[in-house]
Amino acid sequence: MRTRAIGSRNVGVIGLGAMPMSVAGHMPDEGQSIRTILAALDAGVTLIDTADAYTPSHTDVGHNERLVARALSLWAGDADSVLVATKGGHTRVPDGWDVDGRPSYLKEACDRSLKVLGVESIGLYQHHRPDPRVPYEETMGALKDLHDAGKIQMAGISNANPEQIRLAHDILGDRLVSVQNEYSPRFRSSEPEIDVCAELGLAFLPWSPLGGMSRTGELGRHNSAFDEIAEERGVSPQQVCLAWELARSPVVIPIPGASRPETILDSVGAATLELSKEELARLG
């Protein structure tokens, strides 16, 4: 698989978003989740994205991280070649989701993730979502402390606007390597963030790059060219979508979610799909 850079690491241009394996009401059994992760690894995926808050309920924090750690322990390949990216600061509560950007909490969450993943240092640790009750620079200071303590190898941020990206970069310097925001044909408002990442040399990791769990089959509804080009090329619209995102900027590394081996293997096909200028113009 072709690779792109996240800080000092090169990873496959298509990553795996592991969240769908831990969504209440949709999650597969553990065996299928493990098979999905192993299929991705065998296909050349070297970036797996998870988070402590990816869990079917607030009583099982770390559920998704445990699945990832279990699969890596079973994989016959070199687990050190895989960059596991996890996140902290978006919390699960009985009635849904909340945020906690306090430095003390982020450090506590990182320690918990270290234990769940069974590692001494997390490859890429991302602040999950800004907390309006906590100054952003204070939360970024916690990421800096975690890096300098050796608990994380690289730092990332998620759901950040251009001003927050620049502020994080000012505080973290080259410790900051990535930004993870929503981006897809349906949700294009992260275009400015992609441009800032390209300017600063940061990887941009689109979450929900296919439009979200319940909308993956609706690409043609936003632009029929996704379906038309897919039919012309003999590939899935999802592959066309991911190839379109890869063509947006060399800093883009999509992390499509999957809970079945067939799904991630189809997504991996986008790594070798080169769209022409005419096709890209049709896609908009």
For residue 105, the model assigns a pLDDT of 98
Residue with tokens 């990873």: 11
Task: Show Cβ contacts of residue 165 under 8 Å, excluding neighbours closer than 6 positions.
Answer: 157, 179, 193, 196, 197, 200, 202
For residue 221, the model assigns a pLDDT of 78
Tokens of 260: 């079945």
Tokens of 75: 């994989």
Give me the mean pLDDT over the 89-106 stretch. 95
Integer Cα distance of 209 and 253 in angstroms: 10
254 - beta bridge partners? none
> Could you give the residue numbers annotated as active site?
54
pLDDT in tens, 29-66: 999 999 999 999 999 999 999 999 999 999 999 999 99
pLDDT in tens, 108-141: 999 999 999 999 999 999 999 999 999 999 999 9
Domain boundaries, the chain: 3-218+248-272
CATH topology of domain 3-218+248-272: TIM Barrel (3.20.20)
Nearest to 212 by CA among 188, 239, 186: 186
